[in-house]
Amino acid sequence: MGQSSPALRLADPDAFVDGVPHEVLAEVRATTPVLWQEMDDQPGFWAVLSHADVVTVARRTDVFSASLGGIVVEDMDPETLEMVRGMLLAMDPPRHSIYRAPLADTFRASVMAALEPTVRSICRELMDRAAEQVEVEFVHDVTSGLPTRVIGQLMGVPESDWERLHELAQQQAAGQDPDLAGDTDLSAASIEMAMYAIEFAAERRATAERNPDAEPPADLSTLVLAQEFNGVPMNEIDFGSFFVQLVTAGNDTSRTMLSSGLHVLLEHPEQLATLREEPSGIPSAVEEILRYANPLHYFRRTATCDTELGGAEIRSGDKVAMYYTSANRDEEVFDDPQRFDVTRSPNPHLSFGIGAHFCLGVHLARLEGRVFFEELLAGFGGIELAGEPVRIRSNLNNGLKRLPVQLTR
C-alpha cells in the first residue's frame, strides 16, 4: 500500500480525545498530502490532507462516489448502507441532482433569513433559562436546544413534539462515545424518528385531502410533500428518511459550532473583547470558528476507478476520506493557519464541504451561529470557564461533550 504515518491514527476515536494532532497533521501534509491509514478489522483508507486535493475529491463525483460505500470510513452492512443511500449526502448524480434541485430553493439565504425572528426568540429563551443557574453545562443546557427546535419550526412539527425529537436527535448523536451512548440503541432512535415523520406526512396528506380548498401550512413539509422528484411525489417512507437526515445533519454540527465557538473565544479573550465592542464582526468570527474548530473531521468517498491523487496511486474501490480538519489549516491557502483570528479574510474553509454536496443547510447554520453569539454576548457580560472542557470520543465529530461555564448577566 501507499505511505502511512505511525504518528497518525485517524480511524481511532481515542486519538482525538485529548485534542486534534494539528502539528503532526501539518508535518505529514507537507510531504504526504494523501496518506494511507490502516484500520483494525477492515481495509484501510486514504486520508486526503491538503485543501486542493479535498476540493478535487469533492468535485470529481464521477471518480469519487458518495454512494458506493457511504460517507464514513467504517464499512456498513448492506442493509444499513441501503438506508444511508436514501440520504442526499450518500447519493451520486444523476439521482442526487434530482433530489437536491427542488430543495435548494427552500434553503437559500433569503428564505432562511425569514427565520431570524424565530431563531432569536429560541436563543433568548435558552439564555433566560441559563441565567437562572449559577453554573451551566453549556453543551447540553444551552447549545443543544437550538438546532432541533429550529428544524421543528422549519418542518412545521407541532411545538409539543420538539422535546421528543430533541431527545431522539441526542441519542443519534452519541455515536462512538460510550459515555454518551450508554444503553441507547442508535438505530432505534433513527427508526422512531422516521416513524414519527412517516405518520406526520400521512396526517398532512390526509388533512389536505379532507380540506382541498384550505391553504396548507407554509413550511418545508408542505413543499416537499407537494414536490415531484423525477416525476413522482415523495412517498411517506422517503419523507421519513429525508426528515431524519435533516435533523441529524443539522443537529450536532450546529451545536458543535456554538459550543466549540464559545470555547475558542474563551481561549482567546482579546478576540472575545473585540467582538463585544464590535458585534458586527460576529459573522466573520463564525466563519473562523468553523475553520478552526470544524464540527466534522471528514466525509468519505469511494474511488470508482484507478486514479492518482497527491502522489498516491488510488485503486478502484479504495476508501478516500476528505479531511476538513487538515485542509482548513493548509498553509498553501491560509496565512498563519494555526492562529485563530476572528477577522480572517478571505476564509475559504471547507467545513461545509464543497461541490455537489455542499451543505444544504449552510445559510441556516450561519444564521444560527450569528444570532446565537449576538444573544449570548448581549445577554451575559461575564462568561468564564467553570471546569475542564471534555471532548467527544469520535473519529468523525470534532466537538465537546461538556463545557462547564459560569454566566453572569
Complex with ligand HEM: residue 37 or 256, whichever CB lies closer = 256
Please report where in the chains the cell 462515545 appears, as a residue.
177
In the complex, the smallest distance separating the C-beta of residue 382 from ligand HEM, rounded to whole angstroms, is: 26
Backbone angles phi, psi at 107, to 5 degrees: -95, 10
Stretch that binds ligand HEM, among 73-81, 129-137, 250-258, 383-391 (CB under 6 A): 250-258
**Element housing 272 (H / E):** helix 269-277
Q: What's at 99, amino acid-wise?
A: Y
- Under the criterion CB under 6 A, does residue 100 sit at the interface with ligand HEM? yes
28 vs 93: CA distance, rounded Å? 33
Complex with ligand HEM: residue 170 or 351, whichever CB lies closer = 351
- Under the criterion CB under 6 A, does residue 169 sit at the interface with ligand HEM? no
Q: What's at 90, amino acid-wise?
A: A
In the complex, the smallest distance separating the C-beta of residue 106 from ligand HEM, rounded to whole angstroms, is: 10
- Under the criterion CB under 6 A, does residue 254 sit at the interface with ligand HEM? yes
- Under the criterion CB under 6 A, does residue 126 sit at the interface with ligand HEM? no
Binders in 202-231 for ligand HEM, by CB under 6 A: none
Binders in 342-371 for ligand HEM, by CB under 6 A: 351-353, 357, 359-361, 364-365
Backbone angles phi, psi at 320, to 5 degrees: -135, 120
| Residues sharing a CB contact under 8 Å with residue 178, sequence separation 6 or more, in sequence order | 393
Among 153, 171, 221, 253, binds ligand HEM (CB under 6 A): 253
Q: Which grid cell sits at 276?
A: 463585544
Complex with ligand HEM: residue 11 or 71, whichever CB lies closer = 71
The answer to whether 186 touches 174, Cβ cutoff 8 Å, is yes
Stretch that binds ligand HEM, among 32-40, 159-167, 197-205, 294-302 (CB under 6 A): 294-302
358 vs 111: CA distance, rounded Å? 18
- Under the criterion CB under 6 A, does residue 29 sit at the interface with ligand HEM? no
Complex with ligand HEM: residue 83 or 359, whichever CB lies closer = 359
341 vs 284: CA distance, rounded Å? 9
- Under the criterion CB under 6 A, does residue 162 sit at the interface with ligand HEM? no
Q: What's at 147, amino acid-wise?
A: P
| Residues sharing a CB contact under 8 Å with residue 226, sequence separation 6 or more, in sequence order | 216, 233
- Under the criterion CB under 6 A, does residue 55 sit at the interface with ligand HEM? no
In the complex, the smallest distance separating the C-beta of residue 128 from ligand HEM, rounded to whole angstroms, is: 23
The answer to whether 283 touches 366, Cβ cutoff 8 Å, is yes
Beta-carbon count within 10 A of 354 CB? 21
Complex with ligand HEM: residue 28 or 327, whichever CB lies closer = 327
Complex with ligand HEM: residue 113 or 273, whichever CB lies closer = 113
- Under the criterion CB under 6 A, does residue 246 sit at the interface with ligand HEM? yes
Residue at shortest CB range from ligand HEM:
361
Complex with ligand HEM: residue 21 or 353, whichever CB lies closer = 353
Binders in 63-92 for ligand HEM, by CB under 6 A: 66, 71, 88-89
The answer to whether 2 touches 36, Cβ cutoff 8 Å, is yes
Backbone angles phi, psi at 169, to 5 degrees: -65, -40
At residue 123, the 3 state secondary structure works out as helix
Complex with ligand HEM: residue 183 or 251, whichever CB lies closer = 251
Helices (H), 114-235: 116-131, 138, 145-155, 162-173, 178-181, 186-210, 220-226
In the complex, the smallest distance separating the C-beta of residue 189 from ligand HEM, rounded to whole angstroms, is: 18
Binding site for ligand HEM (CB under 6 A): 58, 66, 71, 88-89, 100, 151, 245-246, 249-250, 253-254, 257, 295-296, 299, 351-353, 357, 359-361, 364-365
